[in-house]
Amino acid sequence: MADRKCLALIAHDQKKDDLAAFAKANEAVLAGWKIVATGTTGGRVLDVCPGLDVARLKSGPLGGDQQIGALIATGDVDCLIFFVDPLTPMPHDVDVKALMRLAIVYDIPMALNRATAEQLIDFRRN
């Protein structure tokens, strides 16, 4: 069987409920992906979908965004879904910007809100 593609999942605190609901609603599709996630986000996804293949990295403010950025740079992440909170200042805002920048540099599909994530996951279903 061909290697599964890798999906990165991240959500800021105010968006974690939304990402957990998104993961549950799309569990069957997500089961076809190898998933990497920042620490807390990955834990929330596994709480609702314990059967998914989720590798948890560091929490975002402690370097998790940078770890995912590095995986994008090495070609190990194929798609990024990042539910961003645009209303709360973040201590690691520079890391968030750096991650988005690398997703653009390496031209990987990137959804920054649920509406786009729903389209992306549907588009990439097969």
Ligand X SMILES: O=C(CO)COP(=O)(O)O
Residues in Cβ contact with 24 at an 8 Å cutoff, skipping those fewer than 6 apart = 48, 49
Q: How far apart are CA 122 and CA 126, in angstroms?
A: 9
Q: Identify which range of 32-40, 70-78, 101-109, 115-123 contacts ligand X by CB under 6 A.
A: 32-40
* Residue 77 interacts with ligand X (CB under 6 A): yes or no: no
Stretch of residues binding ligand X (CB under 6 A), selected from 22-30, 33-41, 70-78, 105-113: 33-41
> Is 12 marked as binding a ligand?
yes
Strand order in the sheet with 34-37: 54-56, 34-37, 6-11, 79-83, 110-111
Catalytic, out of 13, 53, 65, 78: 65
Binding track over 34-63 against ligand X, x by CB under 6 A: ----xxxx-----------------xxx--
Binding residues for ligand X (CB under 6 A)? 10, 12, 38-41, 59-61, 64-65, 92, 96
